[in-house]
Structure 1
Amino acid sequence: MDLKRLADWFSAARPGVGGRLLSARLIPGGKSNLTYEVGDGERSWVLRRPPLGHILDTAHDMGREYRVMSALAGTGVPVPATYALCTDDSVIGAPFYIMEKVEGTPFRNAADLAPLGPERVRTISLRLVDTLAALHDVDPATVGLADFGRADGFLDRQVRRWSAQLEASRSRDLPAAGELRGLLASQVPAQSAPGIVHGDYRLDNVLVDRNDRPAAIIDWEMATIGDPVTDLALLIVYQRLSRLTGGDLVSDAASAPGYLTEDEVRNRYRSRGGRDPAHFGFYLGLAAYKLAAIVEGIHYRHLRGRTVGAGFDGIGALTEPLLEIGLASLKKDD
């Protein structure tokens, strides 16, 4: 990253905010978009850019992340302040944006949560669900996001989109993928009322402050307008996956003593005004299929040396367990 070029751009884009950038470091933990802390020796900001190589044309749109966070400012949904968006690849080699550095912890592992004790862990997980319900209660039109996505046909398009992602990233035979795709395509239910969908909502995409409150929701790269129940289902699929893999490949925070059970997550969400759809098994199956496609895309990039940072070696081992979670959910129809 050319820090001088970046600093010149930032100073011009936000006079009085941007300054002489002296440092940049990759913030570890993410497996998709790249996140950096940049600073001038006195102040720090966060910079987000797409991953390296092999991405869907519609994925990793920096403008969408920037727009949804900017729109949610002042709604009560915690988001970082946004400072500047750059669509000129010549500055750092890709589009990017700069936002506030929010103080907080993205709890990823049960081992990090356990020292807090079951009572605090329960409070954190309750507030995680409450914040999701608050996001889904925001009317997209009132915050200028009426055209942020097409709600009609959202679930059908999700099945097609993640099927295309899996095909584009195929490097091995995955028989369960075809079976799950067929079941999803044949069982699409009526959608719930449209709302803002985060697209990857989980505890380590929320910064928790010292008072155990959500300070900011981060990683909005898959945000859109659609069926918000998909966020709830994804949160629960992450919870199921953590029981199978532990904390090595995916967050296992949900296994910490005190963390809400799956039923408690659903009941809390409903009690805070969230939707309570029939055929929840479909939503779980779709969430598992989506995660399998994302994981396989990361695995594909890693095989070709196009990932940055550690922790990618075993990521491909998650694909098949996710497909099995999806099949089991659909057949059970939780």
Structure 2
Amino acid sequence: MIPDGVEVVQSRADAAQLASPPLLILEAVEKFLDAQGLGSGPLRWARIGDGQSNVTYRIERGTDVFVLRRGPRPPLPKSTHDMVREARIQQLVAAEGVPVPRILAVCADESVLGVPFYVMSFLSGITVADKVPALLGSPEQRAATSAAVVDTLVQLHRVPVTAGGLATFGRPDGYLRRQVERFGSLWSVNTTRDLPDVARIGRWLGENIPQSQTASVIHGDYRTGNLLFAADAPARVLAVLDWEMATVGDPLADLGYLTATYSEPGSTSTPLELTGVTRQPGYLSRHELVDRYQEQMPLDLRELNWYQALALWKASIFCEAIYTRWLNGERPDDTSFGPSLGEGIPRLLDGARQFAGRSSGVDF
């Protein structure tokens, strides 16, 4: 008997013995790859990343290496974890020169793994997280790493969205108001505790929505840790990863998120501090990131603090959903991130208050 909770099995017969479905059925994936002409022979697999949302695997067949990306186990909330959409937007921005992995195959047939998935090329590179990469460790390369983060964001925001396939990927008119209203409605669904700052900050955001100046493709989770860098100098981005939240909307939402979650000396640590190395000397500061962006994008950034407050407020709400699932025993293998959110989410809210210009303990 196969124990429950196993994420990868060999066959459908093995999968049928589980109370909850596995994430990979190797024989099914092999058959799909065969039909697509992607490698041959048995699979070897390894999970990539933490998989807080969607799940990514390295797949080897002989000398061929691929990456398979799929959503979590069903049931899935409506309109989330849309792998077909995620693959398609990468294909469209790739055609405009944005660096992304090459999409090799898309499977919309849920009978294969229970959810749609896609297969993309494997790129050999590095992510910048809690350690400085050796070949990018000089002061010059640290500054170049930060600069590459901004320059790639500018490249994405310059992609035209008024015609063609990208025009169907979002409704830029009213984007910011929908963000405030949607996330505001999610708090009561996702929490078991009372944190009054959620409503206070949400009210402030709703009363001070800026006028969007333009529309662009926005990544939705744009940060240093979601970029794959070449492993040698000079610092350059090989690919932007994790397009789950991408849409067409206000580009300053990306810049606000990038800078609000960016670590610099003296910044408060939050659950979204996923690339702590930028606290070290040599990396650009938040202010320098903003200046570099504005040099290349003709946008008024005087209300960027609103977008930064929005970023941390939204983060507090989606992190609360994770925390509640952990409290309910739905994340039994999570021994660090989930438990940290009890105190981490109030820190996110404190950060949002600061960007909104409100001191802790002072009502709006």
Match of 1:331 in 2: 357
Q: Distance in 2 between matches of 1:241 and 1:126?
A: 15
Q: Distance in 2 between matches of 1:253 and 1:113?
A: 12
Asked if 1:277 is matched to 2:317, the reply is no
> What TM-score, normalized to structure 1?
0.91
In the TM superposition, residue 176 of structure 1 has moved relative to its aligned partner by 1.2
Task: Point out the more displaced range, 163-172 or 120-129.
Answer: 163-172
Q: Distance in 2 between matches of 1:261 and 1:63?
A: 36
> RCO (CA 8 Å, sep 6+): is it higher in 1 or 2?
1
Q: Distance in 2 between matches of 1:259 and 1:195?
A: 27
Asked if 1:26 is matched to 2:26, the reply is no
Structure with max Cα Rg: 2
Match of 2:247 in 1: 224
Q: How does 1:132-151 map to 2 (within 5 A)?
A: 132-142=153-163, 144-151=165-172
Match of 1:117 in 2: 138
| Residue from 291, 296, 299 that aligns with 2:323 | 299
Match of 1:238 in 2: 261
Structure 2 counterpart of 1:321, which letter? Answer: R
Q: Distance in 1 between matches of 2:270 and 2:302?
A: 30
Match of 1:265 in 2: 289
Q: 1:274 to 1:44 in 2, by over 3 A?
A: farther
| 2:106 alignment partner, SS class | strand
| 1:17 alignment partner, SS class | coil
Structure 1 counterpart of 2:245, which letter? Answer: M
Asked if 1:4 is matched to 2:27, the reply is yes
Contact 1:249 1:314 in 2 (8 A): no
In structure 1, runs of 5+ residues without a counterpart are none
In the TM superposition, residue 111 of structure 1 has moved relative to its aligned partner by 4.8
Asked if 1:60 is matched to 2:81, the reply is yes
In the TM superposition, residue 98 of structure 1 has moved relative to its aligned partner by 0.9
In the TM superposition, residue 143 of structure 1 has moved relative to its aligned partner by 5.3
Contact 1:71 1:143 in 2 (8 A): no
Q: 1:312 to 1:241 in 2, by over 3 A?
A: farther
Structure 1 counterpart of 2:357, which letter? Answer: K
Match of 1:320 in 2: 346
In structure 2, runs of 5+ residues without a counterpart are 1-23, 360-364
- CA RMSD across the alignment: 2.5
Contact 2:264 2:285 in 1 (8 A): no
Contact 1:286 1:326 in 2 (8 A): yes
Match of 1:255 in 2: 279
> What TM-score, normalized to structure 2?
0.83
Partner deviation per Cα, 1:4-42 (whole Å, 9 max, x = no partner):
111112222x2x225334122111244221111111131
Q: Which runs of 4+ in 1 moved over 6 A?
A: 246-249, 307-310
